[in-house]
Amino acid sequence: MTKAEKAIRADVKKRLQDQGILPPDKKPLNRKKFALEVLPLVKGDKFSFYDNLIYLVRAFSWMLPNINEKGKILFPVTAEQVGLLKVLKITVDYAAFWKAKEAEGITEVKLDEVYKTVIKPILDL
């Protein structure tokens, strides 16, 4: 796209926002500030993941991409959704890892092995 085309698109977008047809640009999230607000809520003594597991699963369902009855993704997958999908993939692979170890009679493994086998391959996607 040329500079002129980009300028025309920006102008059209601005006019549509002024008319209320398009929403205004979203202010970027201060990620560090947000993390500092949320982490104390879930890392304190008053919060239990076990006691809130059903709500955690329901919250996940709100964040996941939508799929229609034909198995097609309805909207573009956002970076946030990719992050959640990675968490879910880690969960599935972590469970399979431990079930395989238990089948072998192994009850303890080094964190480095878990990281290299389960976590890192997914984080590197």
For 67-80, write each residue's pLDDT tens digit.
999 989 989 999 99
Based on the fold, state whether residues 25 and 70 are members of the same structural domain. Answer: no
Based on the fold, state whether residues 42 and 52 are members of the same structural domain. Answer: no
Whole-model pTM over 0.75:
no
Q: How far apart are the first and last CA of the chain?
A: 29
- Cα distance between residue 31 and residue 46, in whole Å: 24
Per-position pLDDT tens, the chain of length 125: 899 999 999 999 999 999 999 999 989 999 999 999 999 988 888 888 889 999 999 999 999 999 999 989 989 999 999 999 999 999 999 999 999 999 999 999 999 999 999 999 999 99
Based on the fold, state whether residues 60 and 119 are members of the same structural domain. Answer: yes
The residue type found at 118 is: V
Based on the fold, state whether residues 91 and 67 are members of the same structural domain. Answer: yes
Token pair listed for 89 = 């993939």
CA angle 58, 30, 74 (to 5 degrees): 45
Token pair listed for 85 = 């999908």
Which pLDDT score, from 0 to 100, does residue 44 have? 80
How many CB atoms are closer than 10 A to CB 118? 20
Note the pLDDT tens digit of each residue in 23-36. Answer: 999 899 999 999 99
Length of the chain: 125
| Residue range of the domain that includes 55 | 48-125
Based on the fold, state whether residues 52 and 108 are members of the same structural domain. Answer: yes
Based on the fold, state whether residues 71 and 112 are members of the same structural domain. Answer: yes
- Cα distance between residue 16 and residue 117, in whole Å: 50
Nearest alpha carbon to residue 90 among 50, 118, 125: 118
Domain count, the chain: 2
Last residue of a domain, one of 46, 63, 81: 46
Based on the fold, state whether residues 101 and 56 are members of the same structural domain. Answer: yes
Based on the fold, state whether residues 79 and 122 are members of the same structural domain. Answer: yes
